[in-house]
Each structure stands twice: as C-alpha cells, then as structure tokens.
Structure 1
Amino acid sequence: MMIRPAMAGDEDRIWAIIEPVLRAGETYALPHDWSRDEALAFWLGAPHSAYIAGDGGRMVGTYYLQPNQRGGGDHVANCGYIVAGDAIGRGVARAMCLHSLDEARAKGFRAMQFNSVVASNSRAVALWQALGFATVGTVPGAFRHPALGDVDALVMHRTL
C-alpha cells in the first residue's frame, strides 16, 4: 500500500471516498448534506495535511492530520480517516493510522487524540485500542446516529 500527501488533482478520488461516509452520517460529526466543495474545503483545507492511500493504482482511503488545538494544545495531533467502502477490512485504516503516527512524530507532535470516536463504530474503537489508544473520556449521547439515536462519543488518546 502506498500512502502519500494529497495533491491537486486528487479531489474527485477523495470525494468518491468521503461522500458515502458523510451521507450515511454514522461515524463522523460532520454535516451529512455538505456539498462536494464544502466537504473538500474541510478535508483539504488548513490546518489539515491530507493524505491518500492507494493499492494497486486505486485509491482506497484518505486521512487528514492536524493539531488537535491551537496554542498550548498544538503539540497533540488529531486525525480523521475514511476507507473506501469496498476496501473495509483489508488493513487500510491500520496502515493509514500507522502512517499518521509516523507523520505526527516527524512534525514534532508528542501525542495523538481523537475527540469524537462514535462508540457504535466498534471496528474503529477496536483498531484504535489495538494501536495503543486509550479511552480517556466518554461524552454521553454526544453523537446523533441516524439509526441508533444518541450514542456516546469516546475521546481516545496515546502518546507518541
């Protein structure tokens, strides 16, 4: 699997990956009705550094890396990952997370924090735990799931 920084010209492929996840509204606390331009402005815009994952010449995932906070919290990284629907279960999220941990270290971050892991997203929770993230907080009912109603959001953290 090849993972590289996103470049001009990747927008259509990134949109093809993120649109179904945004529309489903099951894992990201982002507007499900965003337009292509709004979603790409968020995913590719500052302060994000965006990356794409390819396998055999096909894009199978994308992620962004950013400071979790500004000022006194800018030594902690934050990421968001999305895997193409037909690539789920093939190790893409694991590869992107491991890549992001290396990128975060190289950029001088000392920890990584996920602010809102939807508790019903059991695959993601299990993967982040396997990669050394601990749940350091639970925000009850903080995510409005379209099928399950209000579910908890987990704050997950690990040092680098």
Structure 2
Amino acid sequence: MIPDDDPARSLTVANPDDPATTFVSLVGNTYAMLITGEQTDGRYCLIDMRVPDGGGPPPHRHDFEEMFTILEGEIEFTFRGEKHLVKAGSTINIPANAPHNFRNSSGAPARMLCMCTPAGQEEYFTKVGTIVAGWDAPPPQLSADELADQRRRAGELAGTYRSEFL
C-alpha cells in the first residue's frame, strides 16, 4: 500500500543560478548543492560538480550509491582498480562499498551531476570544504596549516558520513 501524500514536503526546483544555492570548494573542485537531504527527507542529494583539469578526490569508498552523469568534458573513473574514461552524455553508477575515485585528466574543465542515495554527502562536503560565492569564485588559497586542518576534518568526519579513504 502506498502511503498518503505528505503535504509538508514541497516541490523542489533546482537551479545552480539561484542565489540560495550553496557552493563548496573542495579538492580543487567547485560543488553546487542543488538538492539536499533536507529537501528529500534524506532519500538522496544532487550535486552539480565542476571539476578542473587535474581535479578529483583521493581513492575512497562509502556505503551509499553514487551516480554520475557527465554533462561536459570527460572524467576518468577508477573503479576497483580499473580505469574507465566516461564522456559527456554518459551516466555511471558506483555501487555502495566499492573502492573508487575520479580524476579529470582531459586538459579541459568538466562538469557532472552526482546523485547520492541516501543523502548525506552534501552535508559532508559542506562541513569539510570551503563555502565560496559561486562558480566563478577562485578556489581559496589555503595555507599549509589550513590544508592540514581540512584533511584532518575530512578524516575525522568520514566515518560519521559512512565513508573511508583508501
């Protein structure tokens, strides 16, 4: 049986140009938090990712599904040790618990949508990264101490957000 409609939940329209959008700079990338777990009752989150040439996270894994749709450019995903070049127009799904990472090694910027289910990754990024004004904001120039503090926070919070670095 399908539950009754919950009128407390409203329609969400995600627009990265909305002034209320939160932008986070992390590992050289800029992420726009389009749809949060707060808006989906924790079911999923949607993040618009701008990844410069050379950008991408270190190898990691987590206990939630992660789906990427490449909108512009191409991204090299390493999944369980195997490299896969994924070009604009393609979508891939990373199963929960699988070791992976991605890197933009194309020589040009790339853009992709990332959906995590259940939600939580958007909170993790916001707590670890640096809030910036928007797409065009330069990444913060972190001192060695600030970078070390960011890495420490990422490691300390990883377990809380069901992730681990490899």
Q: Is TM (by shorter chain) over 0.5?
A: no
Highest relative contact order (Cα 8 Å, sep 6+), 1 or 2? 2
Point out the structure with max Rg over C-alpha: 2
TM-score where L is the length of structure 1:
0.30
Q: Which has the higher helix share?
A: 1
TM-score where L is the length of structure 2:
0.29
